[in-house]
Amino acid sequence: MKGKWIWIVVLLVSAVLIVGCGGASSEPVEEAVPTAHPGKSVMNSKCGTCHDLSRVTEYRDDLEGWEMTVDRMILLGAELSDQQRTDLIDYLAQEYPAE
C-alpha cells in the first residue's frame, strides 16, 4: 500500500513539473536585427576613400542639397552606380538632415 502512494506522489510531481515547464522553450528567441541602410556601406567605401568620414557626418543638408553634393563628387571623380548614388543620397538625407 505504501508503494502505491509513492508512485502516486511521483506521478503528481512529474505532472506538475511537466505542466509547469510547458511554456519554457529551449530554442533561442531570434531578435529583430536592424538591417543597415545600403547607403551607409556606400558612404564608408566610396566617400571614405577621399575624405575623413567626419567631414561627411558633420555636414547637414536636405535631400536636394545632398543630391547636389553627391553629384559634385561624381563630377570630381567619385565612381558610383546609379543605385549607389540613390542609396547614398537617401542615407545622407535621412541620417544627416538639415538642422
Nearest to residue 66, comparing CAs of 83, 52, 46, 86?
A: 86
In CATH, what number is assigned to the domain containing residue 70? 1.10.760.10
Q: For residues 39 and 46, what is the distance between their CA atoms, to the nearest angstrom?
A: 10
CB atoms within 10 A of CB 17: 10
Res 39: pLDDT: 96
Count of domains for the chain:
1
pTM: 0.66
The chain-wide mean pLDDT, for the chain, equals 83
The answer, yes or no, to whether residue 71 has pLDDT greater than 70, is: yes
The pLDDT tens digits for 12-23 are 666 665 665 555
- Residue at 15 is within a domain: no
Res 93: pLDDT: 97
Please state, for a pLDDT cut of 90, what percent of the chain lies above it.
Answer: 55
Nearest to residue 44, comparing CAs of 35, 34, 54?
A: 54
- Residue at 80 is within a domain: yes
Grid cell locating 39: 547607403
Res 33: pLDDT: 76
- Residue at 6 is within a domain: no
- Residue at 54 is within a domain: yes
- The pLDDT-based confidence of 34 (bands split at 50, 70, 90) is confident
- Residue at 2 is within a domain: no
Domain limits for position 74? 38-95
- Residue at 23 is within a domain: no
- Residue at 78 is within a domain: yes
More confident residue, 68 or 48: 68
